Amino acid sequence: MIMTAGLGFKLEHLDEALTARNPGLWFEVHAENYMVDGGPRLRALLALAERFAISLHGVGLSLASVEPPAGDHLRRLRTLADLVGPAAISDHLAWQKWEGGHHADFLPFPRTRQALDITADNVARVQDALGRSILVENPSLYVDLPGHDLDEASFLAELAARTGCGLLVDVNNIFVSAANLRFSAEARIDAIPASIIGEVHLAGHRPDPDPESGLLIDSHDAPVSDPVWLLYQRLINRVGPRPTLIERDDDIPPFQELMLERDRAHRLLEQRMSIDA
């Protein structure tokens, strides 16, 4: 079965998810929520994995951190991957570790040559531990840091060339970053090399509740916006169909409502496939 459009899996949707028969449907979970010793939640994921392709989306590898990924974290991720047999494993181009703590967000950094060396080393360690390649996702950016040697697309392309990793292109993150840092989202979308794109994310965003900030926030608590759908079409028109996820992590609507968004992505992918056929 070809993976077309997937949905971020929520436990409260288990029964409906297990009985869904939509062609091409797959599910993604945040890996860390299932990197536990056992219990009903892990069993629910394994039941889902018997029917659907699963993507393990990490939020904790801290791939751009100057500290390498923690060995116990890698072992737990490997254990989960061995149980689930995921179609893809991914995490973010960001760092999260600071003074022994875990910052539960994706922090930015100057994309220097040294940062590329560090990130490539971390990605290689992860891939060695997992025995497979991973996908790396572009983060949402909220401040234009000084000191970059490389733009984001070049950084990710070089990272892929050096490590064999692929890219997870989050179209909403590009839209949010482009609005916050005032660059062209279309130009950024167009700059990503097609051959290394393994997955696409679509999600909703919101204006910062602080009216003075003027920032857009990658909140995952709203439907995918129309400009993000347009960027998505622009991307797949150029690069061809890719497994595409509707991400929703807050203000979760009923399963069927999320499936309407998912089916919209599925139809766009089908249309795009018919062009190639």
Minimum distance between the CB of residue 65 and other proteins, rounded to whole angstroms?
Answer: 7
Nearer to other proteins, 6 or 108 (CB): 108
Minimum distance between the CB of residue 109 and other proteins, rounded to whole angstroms?
Answer: 6
Minimum distance between the CB of residue 5 and other proteins, rounded to whole angstroms?
Answer: 26
Nearer to other proteins, 73 or 242 (CB): 73
| 29 CB burial (10 A radius; 0-12, 13-18, 19+) | buried
- Alpha-carbon distance of 131 to 155, in angstroms, equals 23
Nearer to other proteins, 76 or 266 (CB): 76
Minimum distance between the CB of residue 191 and other proteins, rounded to whole angstroms?
Answer: 23
Minimum distance between the CB of residue 20 and other proteins, rounded to whole angstroms?
Answer: 21
Nearer to other proteins, 207 or 253 (CB): 207
Nearer to other proteins, 242 or 248 (CB): 248
Minimum distance between the CB of residue 33 and other proteins, rounded to whole angstroms?
Answer: 5
Query: Secondary structure of the chain in the HEC alphabet?
Result: CCCCEEEECCHHHHHHHHHCCCCCCEEEEEHHHHCCCCCHHHHHHHHHHHHCCEEEECCCCCCCCCCCCCHHHHHHHHHHHHHHCCCEEEEECCEEEECCEEEEEEECCCCCHHHHHHHHHHHHHHHHHHCCCCEEECCCCCCCCCCCCCCHHHHHHHHHHHHCCEEEEEHHHHHHHHHHHCCCHHHHHHCCCHHHEEEEEECCCEECCCCCCCCEECCCCCCCCHHHHHHHHHHHHHHCCCCEEECCCCCCCCHHHHHHHHHHHHHHHHHHHHHHC
Minimum distance between the CB of residue 143 and other proteins, rounded to whole angstroms?
Answer: 3
Nearer to other proteins, 21 or 182 (CB): 182
Nearer to other proteins, 115 or 236 (CB): 115
Q: Give the interface with other proteins as residue ranges (CB under 8 A).
A: 32-33, 35-41, 43, 58-60, 62, 65-66, 70, 73, 95-96, 98-105, 107-110, 112, 114-115, 118, 142-144, 147, 208, 210, 212-215, 217, 250
